[in-house]
Amino acid sequence: MPTPFDVPPSMLISRLARYLKDNVDAVEPPEWAPYVKTGVHAERAPQNPDWWYVRCASLLRKIYIMGPIGVERLRSEYGGRKRRGVRPEHARKGSGAIVRKALQQLEKAGLVTTIRGKGRIVTPEGRSLLDTLSAEIKKELEKVNPALSKY
């Protein structure tokens, strides 16, 4: 069965974000989501109105691939370069509040669970969801390009 390792991340994340928005009631953007930056390195808030669902989907995929993983490592994953005018740029971590709140919502939805002292991992329900979406994407890609069926 295809897994998230076998499909392009952008396709999986967009499909998963759409699924989270339409089918999972526990995942909803907080009231401050339209106004917040995603980290100290960002200059403005995200332009996509559904960015919260995209971030939750991306977090779920990262936990599947890298888990168990904690909030600090995830903050580093979503960080970027801080522009400092004429001085050299430096790396900064992403927002911890966004990561924490999204993880709490994914836990409430039953897609992620915590291992004390190690971090978050994907539950069997979350793994099944990601595998199912990956299988659908893989079938669509094989219809477009039949040569992919041997991989």
pLDDT of residue 1: 83
Say whether pLDDT at 128 is over 90. Answer: yes
- Only one residue has tokens 């990262």, namely 62
The CATH class for the domain spanning 4-150 reads: mainly alpha
Nearest CA to 59 out of 47, 70, 49 is that of: 70
User: How would DSSP label each residue in 91-122?
Assistant: EE-B-HHHHHHHHHHHHHTTSEEEETTTEEEE
- Provide the 3-class DSSP secondary structure of residue 90: strand
> How far apart, in whole angstroms, are the C-alpha atoms of residue 140 and residue 134?
10
Nearest CA to 82 out of 50, 51, 37, 125 is that of: 37
- Only one residue has tokens 């291992």, namely 115
Q: Please return the burial class of 56, using the count of CB atoms within 10 Å of its CB with bins 0-12, 13-18 and 19+.
A: buried
User: How would DSSP label each residue in 34-88?
Assistant: TT--SBTT-SS--S-TTHHHHHHHHHHHHHHHH-SB-HHHHHHHT-EEEEETTEE
Say whether pLDDT at 94 is over 90. Answer: yes
Encode burial over 28-37: b for 16+ CB neighbours within 10 A, e otherwise. Answer: ebeeebeebe
Which helix (DSSP H) or strand (DSSP E) does residue 23 occupy? Answer: helix 9-23
Q: If you average pLDDT over residues 95-114, what whole number do you get? A: 96
Mean pLDDT of the chain: 94
- The model carries a pTM of 0.92
pLDDT of residue 148: 76
pLDDT of residue 125: 96
The domain locations on the chain are: 4-150
pLDDT of residue 145: 86
